[in-house]
Amino acid sequence: MSVNEVYVFRPFKLIALLCVFLALCLDVVALLSPAWVTADHFALSLWESCTQSEARHPTEEEEAPWSCFSTLTSDWQIATLVLLVAGATATLVAFLVALISLCRGTQRRHYRTVAVFLFTAVVLQACALVLYPIKFIDGTVLQTYHEFNWGYGLGWGATIFMLGGGILFCLRTDVYEDAMY
């Protein structure tokens, strides 16, 4: 580098890798979350549905027990889980390919592959996250107020970070002309 040359560092790919890492972390927490839907004496996750029975003689010290059963008997809940796990797997593959590419210095060859994996994960996750409330509300027997809780929100957060990472991996920062800088 001579005295007149200026090196411009653009950390788009590092930010994209950070987005993919955050998406992966949020996705794992969302998958393991016990709270996707909550209501009075009711909690639903991707894995189980729990209800709290009314105590016969409730006291302040004693709380009624919760009874839980698997949600893997319902087709739509299995479909949601499969779509989310497939999206998380695609995100993991994208993260590993991006990390290895950035560490080895061969990143330009693999940007499109990483972006394709991330956009595939976004589509899978979005389908799951749209399917879940539609089918829940369609088949719900709850006559009380219920809300989609933090586990569901983390799923959307992961999807947004995946989309951001995919867009950043699509940016071609290596083809800008030097005259512009």
CATH number of this structure's domain 12-34+74-174, picked from the four choices 3.40.50.620, 1.10.260.40, 1.20.140.150, 3.40.640.10:
1.20.140.150
Element housing 160 (H / E): helix 150-170
Print pLDDT tens along the chain (181 aa). Answer: 556 665 555 688 889 999 999 999 999 999 999 888 888 878 888 888 888 776 555 555 567 787 888 888 888 889 999 999 999 999 999 999 988 888 877 656 788 889 999 999 999 999 999 998 888 888 765 566 778 889 999 999 999 999 999 999 888 766 554 444 4
CA–CA separation, 27 and 20 (whole Å): 10
DSSP letter at 53? P
Q: How far is CA 105 from the centre of its chain?
A: 28
**Nearest-angstrom CA–CA distance, 145 and 94:** 39
Amino acid (one-letter) located at 79:
A
Separation of alpha carbons 118 and 23, rounded Å:
10
Q: Which helix (H) or strand (E) holds 31?
A: helix 12-32
How far is C-alpha 15 from the chain's CA centre? Answer: 17
Q: Considering the entire predicted model, what is its pTM?
A: 0.80
3-state SS assignment for residue 82? helix
